[in-house]
């Protein structure tokens, strides 16, 4: 019987959705970004081993991400100035 990783993956997905749902300065941007991020995360969780499947995982993730994005303000998640607006070249690796 395969080991189901659903509880740990769900917590990780919710944290990822919450941290990324604040992308954008207006509510529409945050809602759509959250929905997209949540759908992708839910689909991956459903594919890896969730008992609900890819489609259901994507739908649940999209809903959770959209709600998180809609209720998040730009002040809640401030990732700083985007790299492309910095004016400095990316550091060499």
Do the Cβ atoms of 67 and 32 come closer than 8 Å? no
Residue range 28-37: average pLDDT?
Answer: 87
Residue 40 has pLDDT above 80, yes or no: yes
CA distance 63 to 42: 10
CA distance 64 to 50: 16
DSSP state of 72: -
CA distance 91 to 52: 42
More confident call, 83 vs 40: 40
Place of tokens 């994005």: 69
Residue 63 has pLDDT above 90, yes or no: yes
Q: Which residues contact 83 (CB under 8 A, 6 or more apart)?
A: 90
């Amino acid at each position: 019987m395969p080991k189901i990783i659903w509880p740990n993956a769900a917590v990780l997905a919710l944290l990822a959705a919450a941290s990324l749902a604040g992308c954008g300065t207006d509510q529409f941007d945050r809602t759509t970004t959250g929905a997209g991020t949540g759908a992708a995360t839910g689909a991956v969780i459903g594919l890896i081993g969730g008992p609900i499947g890819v489609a259901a995982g994507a739908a649940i993730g999209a809903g959770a991400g959209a709600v998180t994005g809609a209720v998040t303000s730009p002040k809640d998640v401030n990732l700083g100035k985007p790299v492309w607006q910095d004016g400095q070249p990316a550091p060499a690796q």
